Amino acid sequence: MSNSQNWPTWVEISRSALKHNLKQYNNIKAKNSQIAPVLKSNAYGHGLIECANLLKNEPIWGFCTVNLSESLILRHFGFSGRLLVLSFVDEDLSLGIKKDITFSVYSQKFARKLNSLARKLNKKVKIHLKVETGTGRLGLWPEDFYNIVKKISKMKNLSIEGVFTHLADSENANWNFTNKQIKRFNQILEKLKKENINIPLKHMACSAAAIGHSKIHYNLIRLGLSLYGLYPSEAVKKRVKDKYNNFSLKPVLSWYTKIIQIKKLPAGHNIGYGCSYKTKTKKKIAVLPVGYWDGYDRHLSNKNFVLIKGQRCSVLGRICMNMHMVDITPIKNIRVGERVTLIGCDGSEKITVEEMAEKIGTINYEIPTRINPLIPRIICQ
C-alpha cells in the first residue's frame, strides 16, 4: 500500500512491472538492436518523470518524446542521456539545441532552420530523418529522400544519426500493408548503401512490430505501449502466444480513489445529471471524487464498475466533472475513506484498461493517456 492518505485519487506505478516489460523486449530483440523507451504524452499517462527515473539506469539507448517540451522537462529534471524528439517542436528551438537534444527532420525547411540556429550557437545537432512509407503523416517522400539527404549532408552543423519510419497497421493480424512499408523502407536503406551514405541508426519497429519479426528491429526499437504492460491489439497478443513461450506483459498502472460520502436512497430516487438513473429499490451509494476532468470518461456512465473490498460495484448515473456514484448496497461494514479501485486488482477481481476501452468504443491507449497529469503518480513495488 502506498503513502496515499493525503490524496483523494492517485495512480500507482509498479516499478517491478515496468522493468519486467522492458526485459521481455530485451530478451527478444535482435542481437545488434537497442531499445528506446517512448515517454510521450506523460509516458502514456504513467508519468513522464516517474517512468524516466525508473528506467534511466536500465539497458536502453535513450528516451523518445513526442515534442521538444517533453525533452526539455527531462533535461530540467537532470536527465543527461540521449533524447529524441519524434515529432514536432513546440518550444524555443535554440534551447533544444543548447540542451543537446536530437531532432526528427521531416522537411528541408526545418533542416535549414535547425542548421542556421546551430551555426549561430556554434553547436552540431544530431538528427534523425523521418521518411513517409505509408502512414500519411510526418515524413519525407521516398522519391525526394536521396536528394534531400545529400543536401542535408552538406549542412555542417547537422549530423545525420538516424533514419526511420512509422508503421500504420502493424497491430493488425494481416501484415500485407506492413510488408509494403517494410519493403519501401528497405529500398531506401539499400539506396543509401549503394550511394555510400552511412546513417548509423535505422528504426521502424514499435511495440507491435517488434513482436512481428526481428528482421525489422534493425538497430533500434521504439518501445511504447507494451512497455507499460498493454498489448496494442488482440492480434498482437495472439501473435505473442504463437511465437514466444515465455513472453508476458504486466500492467504498470493502477488507479485508486476514496469514498467521500455514503448515503441511502429510497426507491424512485434519481441519481446524477439528466436523471439518467432512477432507483427501483432502496440503494446505498458511495460518492467518489473522480470525474471526467480526472480522465474518467463520461461514456462510462451507467455501464462501468469499480472495486470495493474485492467486489464489483456498478456506476450509477452520469459521470460528473469531478465525481461519480456507485452502488454499494451489497457491501457490509463500509465507511467513508474506504479505498476504491478504478483500474487494477482487488482480491480476485480486476478492472482492466481493455475492459474500460471496450465499453466506450475506443482503444486501450486512450484510457491511461487521458488520466489527468495533475493526479499524483506514486511509485510502488
Look up residue 250 and give its three cell numbers: 504486466
Look up residue 23 and give its three cell numbers: 526485459
Look up residue 288 and give its three cell numbers: 467518489
Whole-angstrom distance, CA of residue 38 vs CA of residue 209: 14
- How is residue 333 annotated by DSSP? S
Q: Which residue shows C-alpha cell 467521500? A: 260
SS3 state at 314: strand
Query: What residues contact residue 194 under an 8 Å CB cut-off, 6+ apart?
Result: none
DSSP helix, strand, coil percent of the chain (3-state; round to 5): 35, 25, 40
In contact, 253 and 43? CB cutoff 8 Å: no
Tally of CB atoms within 10 A around 381: 8
CA 150 distance to own-chain centroid: 34
In contact, 152 and 197? CB cutoff 8 Å: no
Strands 324-327 and 283-288: antiparallel
In contact, 118 and 158? CB cutoff 8 Å: yes
Cα–Cα separations (whole angstroms), residue 70 to 47, 64, 67, 173: 11, 9, 6, 33
Q: HSE-up of 45 (CA within 13 Å, CB side)?
A: 26
The verdict on whether 292 is a catalytic residue reads: no
**Catalytic member of 23, 241, 244, 273:** 273
Which candidate, 128, 43, 49, 36, places its Cα nearest to that of 82? 36
The verdict on whether 264 is a catalytic residue reads: no
**Catalytic member of 40, 130, 202, 258:** 40
Look up residue 68 and give its three cell numbers: 521538444
In contact, 178 and 169? CB cutoff 8 Å: yes
Q: Which residue shows C-alpha cell 480526472? A: 294
Q: Which residue shows C-alpha cell 556554434? A: 122
Residues annotated as catalytic (active site), given as ranges: 40, 273
